[in-house]
Chains A and B, each alone.
Chain A
Amino acid sequence: MLNPLLRAEWLREGRSNRLAVSIIFYNAVLALIIILFMIFNTESFQEGYYFDPAVYRFQYFIISAIQVGLILLFIPFSVWGIFIRDNDGEMLRRYRVIPGFSRKYVLSKIGLIMSIALLLYISSLPVLSLACIYSGVAWTEIIRLGFMLMFFSFWSGSIAVYAFICRQNGIRGFSLDVFINLFFFTGTLLLSEFIHSVAALSQGADAVADSADICMLLVSFNPLVCLTGYLANITGDNSVINAFCSHIGFDNSGKMFSFTFFKLAGLAGILIGLLFLYRAVAYLDQDARRRDALVKAETL
């Protein structure tokens, strides 16, 4: 195997109770949603097996959104558990002098995180298929949801790996992880709103038009944009992005917008993930004399 650490990580994770509990909990939540939908729409079954797909379309919408939400919620805690166990710190200090070890270490962590996310997705396929059948959604949406989950697990996992590597303390790593996630989820929106408001107040219509481009660029770094595009594709309702664009004065009526904007957001998310992984490797590789000196300075 090219990365010996990834195999060791997978063996360690597979032999712990945490993975099994995660799969059970994950699928239990999804199954509960299906059951609740059936309970609250029993009248649909009164005339044979007739049911209203339009109602169930939102079931798939909710299940997809919850899956992404669970991944985003699950990953910081999962990565915290991965980093604090079992003498990782000592192993890292012992082998960091070997060239290439830092890269393998970081890649093993993100590889494990994405493998767990893939396993959760695969385990949820029966539930997803059922929701797909009831809602009348095309089966290709399941494939797209898989890609969406991999995207979010890569994005969130990269940030979490960076945060826990840069902060030796688990609490601080978790805090940094949450902070960075909040920055991208809400900070980009708040910042674009701030830019739009300043432009509108200070310089009039021309400035608003220019600031709309900047705002859209900022928002493209928000990973929820990809989710919005995916969910809009299921429901056929693009009102969220339409409302935002009209608020900041951006013309999104062109066909190219739908094609490029969400793709751009996806690409931005992948690049951000790669950037955080690169920074994590760089942090491990930087002159450890300086790092140990910083640790000494912090304790003085």
Chain B
Amino acid sequence: MLEFQNLTVSRDNRRILDQLNMEVVDGSIVGLLGPDSDAKRMVLRTAAAIEYPDEGDVFLEGDSVFDKKAGTFMKYGYMSDDHVFFHQLKLFEYYEMCLSIYKIRGRMARIRIEDIIELLDLEKYTDLYLEELPLEMRPFVSLGQAIIHEPVWLLLDHPFNGLDGLGRERMKNLLVQFHDQGMSILLNCSMVPEMTGLLTDVLVFEEGKIAVSGPIEEVVEQIMHERPVRMHVLSNMDGALDVLKTNDLVERVIVDGSHVIFRFRGDDIEEARLLSAIVKNGVLLQNYTRDRINLDDILWR
């Protein structure tokens, strides 16, 4: 389990994370969504022990990630969104250096690198310097660096950036494959169509705090359910407003000409009862609908 306890991070006189408490269970693929890109990025960077918090701690399987002696650095792999490389090295040399930092050398390192290159379909690029790589291959090289020491957790910052449709599909298939092999994944991403089939849970960040969290289906349903209701009233507007004002589940009622817009917090049955009450009160309705929203507008950043 990856656990964040009272995590507070401030940079440049601005609170980025504010008393964040959350747990990410093993075996999940969790997407960090929402408009607060700084907070999402900071969550990953503190989990990877790249940034240190002002308060709080991050625990991976019970050990603090900032504790050098605990050796948690072997358990996670981090992929940055800017694909940090040493551009004058070749692919094999770069991976060899990364493995050596984790004290994996010799024949074992060579076998591991060859496996990674084959898995990520990078055989064609082994003779190129990293600065000569096509842009669409750089996320995969970066992913290779993250998984090269066989971690159990992956912390991925915008892994789909810079990829076209085919590339995103390939990246998604790789992440699913890693998940099936037992890796847990925490990724910062935009809500693109591929995500709905990939993520098991989502965390939506706003202003340094978690606004919504949970399994993706529940979160989407919750968001969809909070869309405003729009009624077109042909007659007896006062009757409609009376019914709405007396219902505790109705909030933020706005009258726009012959349209009434409000939010309803109840479930489908309660909503049906509300509609029946309005009609019974002699209100003539021409239209009762939920406003369309673009899910990406809420989850896309």
Q: Which residues of A contact B (CB under 8 A)?
A: 1, 4-5, 7-8, 11-12, 15-16, 86-87, 90-91, 93-95, 97-99, 101, 104, 288-289, 291-293, 296, 299-300
B94 partner residues in chain A, CB cutoff 8 A: 8
Which residue of A is nearest B80, CB measured? A90
Assembly CA distance A75 to B22 (angstroms): 49
A10 to chain B minimum Cβ distance, whole angstroms, is: 11
**B54-97, CB < 8 A from A:** 54, 65-66, 68-69, 73, 78, 80, 82, 84-89, 93-94, 96-97
A300 partner residues in chain B, CB cutoff 8 A: 13
A292 partner residues in chain B, CB cutoff 8 A: 51-52
A93-B50, A97-B66 known; A12-B11 Cβ under 8 A: no
B100 touches A299 (CB 8 A): no
B66 touches A4 (CB 8 A): no
A99 to chain B minimum Cβ distance, whole angstroms, is: 5
A99 touches B68 (CB 8 A): yes
B52 partner residues in chain A, CB cutoff 8 A: 288-289, 291-292
A104 to chain B minimum Cβ distance, whole angstroms, is: 8
B88 touches A86 (CB 8 A): yes
A8-B86, A11-B88, A12-B86 known; A95-B66 Cβ under 8 A: no
**B133-180, CB < 8 A from A:** none
Interface of B is mostly: loop
* B10 interfacial contact with A, CB 8 Å: yes
The total of chain B residues at the interface (CB under 8 A) is 34
Which residue of A is nearest B130, CB measured? A86
Which residue of B is nearest A101, CB measured? B101
B73 touches A299 (CB 8 A): no
Which residue of B is nearest A290, CB measured? B52
B69 partner residues in chain A, CB cutoff 8 A: 99
A11 touches B54 (CB 8 A): no
Assembly CA distance A86 to B83 (angstroms): 11
Task: Name, among A94, A99, A104, A289, the residue most crowded by chain B CB atoms within 10 Å (CB to CB).
Answer: A94
